[in-house]
Structure 1
């Protein structure tokens, strides 16, 4: 086991974590970003991004790569490991890694993001990877010229329905309401796409599968109660994300949905621990807001670290 002492530890390499890393380097903070997967987070699973300021259209993977390269060019160290525990302390917090190593720092930024919300219907977990997917960009290729069902009504569901319409033979978009929640531009594109058929006011109740995987879904109209079985080769579920709060220390304040409550500086009720991105309670979750929070939190960290170093220096005199 090895130990290291730093100014700042960032956990998570999505847009908020990478932005925090860039600003940490600009503030000359000794920093390590720990990311167990591919830097960029959910961006890597996004087909096209059209609301990143200054860039009319860019693939999510390309934007993720650009952010990662920018952070590395600034000198940020990205450690490809998994964090297993965050232990708060009075002057320093401890971040334990899966290989037994420990990182110490007066400031930690949690940028853990979220994970796809599941429907919780029969057959969902059993058929994950056998017709059930939560990522159209990852798995759409396997459904070329096949029938697919998309579940959801937000931006991600609309974006991925459009993406799949370029690959699949047909797309049924099932939404529990009579109006979408996604942006108007996406709504217009979906309704204008002849390959997409919207199933309004309906929910998927169960998945029908055999040894080869999913072959149909059960659907119920929430207003009339009418039920039908819709043949399909694949089901793509996009009903939002849940906070990935597994590393949140005991005593940290969260709301009823499991998102962490912070102040305007993104600091939690535990001094020196900040939360940014999709793990944080806020009005809207977008790439631009995540990046902004990474900047805000790191600026707050810089002040915190400077203050602690100043106090330590005065004690030595």
Structure 2
């Protein structure tokens, strides 16, 4: 006679505010939600602290002349925990936004439920996929001209890409650098005509057409140049530079939410203008997961504040509706 063993349901934990993601947006949302006595859970994800944990010097964070990225994120995490947020070391692999409370399942099976949900999963820069590129990240290779351009004042730099982001990065760098090269694998740009005209007319910017970076060159401490391959002839050449900026796009970390939230054609979560509200009431999106334009830590932190305050307002309105009518807001 066989004995059926009843499966133990996975453990469940509930919070009024569930936050997924632990960059500046997630930590700031946790701080504000905790200060509102909402006892938020913050599930940190695979890279606690987000992209800033792989950034060295940060010189544009208000109040700090210079701070290391990992140190800044550690401070934000400690602040969130100090005011009452619970930081959970787990990785969300599945979410269900079809009803409230919302459900998120962790990698080890734990079910997290939230009356509201703040999505702060960020976005990841696309890289060239070169070993030498990885070796020199933070030592001359960057994916953010706005973040790191200041460090290349009066130096020679190159930008890889052909869209609006690459052109805008090149024009931004031209404010600091002695000269900027734009390396593009085709002979025409994808950027809009206005940006193209500005770039091609700039005396400090030189496009290099039909070329791709095949290796980042350096002395073990810093970038000294790049090896280029001609995309038509296959000929190889080298270019002496002090810094390389990769501007071939970002991928928002929204795979978990596809089919459940409105997104644009590139996978960024769509929010109500001037808000962090998504297409699902009670779900809010903050930071790079919805911001395709600025991608700055201070902007993400501001959105995290907005998301927490909007989540608090949603909960107040939902409780008021239930008291007045006996109906539960959905």
TM, length-normalised to structure 2: 0.71
Does residue 31 in structure 1 map to residue 46 in structure 2? no
Does residue 205 in structure 1 map to residue 212 in structure 2? yes
Give the corresponding residue for 2:222.
none
Q: How does 1:37-186 map onto structure 2 within 5 Å?
A: 37-119=46-128, 124=129, 127=130, 130-133=131-134, 136-137=137-138, 140=139, 150=141, 154-156=145-147, 158=149, 173-175=158-160, 181=169
Structure 1 residue runs of 5 or longer lacking an equivalent are: 141-147, 166-170, 210-214
Does residue 238 in structure 1 map to residue 226 in structure 2? no
* Shift in Å, 1:22: 0.1
Distance 1:229 1:84 in 2: 45
Distance 2:258 2:144 in 1: 33
Partner SS for 2:284: strand
Does residue 191 in structure 1 map to residue 182 in structure 2? no
* Shift in Å, 1:157: 6.3
Distance 1:114 1:85 in 2: 18
Does residue 11 in structure 1 map to residue 20 in structure 2? yes
Give the corresponding residue for 2:308.
298
Post-superposition Cα deviations, 1:82-139, rounded to whole Å, max 9, x if no partner, equal 00011013331111111111111121111000112134xxxx3xx5xx32328723xx
Q: How many residues align?
A: 278
Does residue 260 in structure 1 map to residue 269 in structure 2? yes
Post-superposition Cα deviations, 1:272-317, rounded to whole Å, max 9, x if no partner, equal 111110010454221111111111111111111123233445539x
Structure 2 residue runs of 5 or longer lacking an equivalent are: 1-9, 181-203, 217-224
Partner SS for 2:256: coil
**1:276 aligned residue (266, 286, 289):** 286
Q: Is the 1:94–1:105 contact (alpha carbons within 8 Å) kept by the matching residues of 2? A: yes
Distance 2:214 2:267 in 1: 28
Give the corresponding residue for 2:320.
310
Post-superposition Cα deviations, 1:35-86, rounded to whole Å, max 9, x if no partner, equal 1234321111222222222222222222112211111111211111100011
* Shift in Å, 1:21: 0.2
Q: Is the 2:160–2:246 contact (alpha carbons within 8 Å) kept by the matching residues of 1? A: no
Q: Is the 2:20–2:45 contact (alpha carbons within 8 Å) kept by the matching residues of 1? A: no
Distance 2:148 2:298 in 1: 19
Distance 1:73 1:183 in 2: 42
TM, length-normalised to structure 1: 0.74
Partner SS for 1:300: helix
Seen in structure 2, the aligned counterparts of structure 1 residues 200 and 221 have a Cα distance that, compared at 3 Å, is: farther
Give the corresponding residue for 2:183.
none
Q: Is the 2:15–2:39 contact (alpha carbons within 8 Å) kept by the matching residues of 1? A: yes
Q: Is the 1:151–1:173 contact (alpha carbons within 8 Å) kept by the matching residues of 2? A: no
Distance 2:239 2:269 in 1: 41
Seen in structure 2, the aligned counterparts of structure 1 residues 51 and 132 have a Cα distance that, compared at 3 Å, is: closer
Distance 1:46 1:208 in 2: 21
What is the CA RMSD across the aligned residues, in angstroms? 3.7
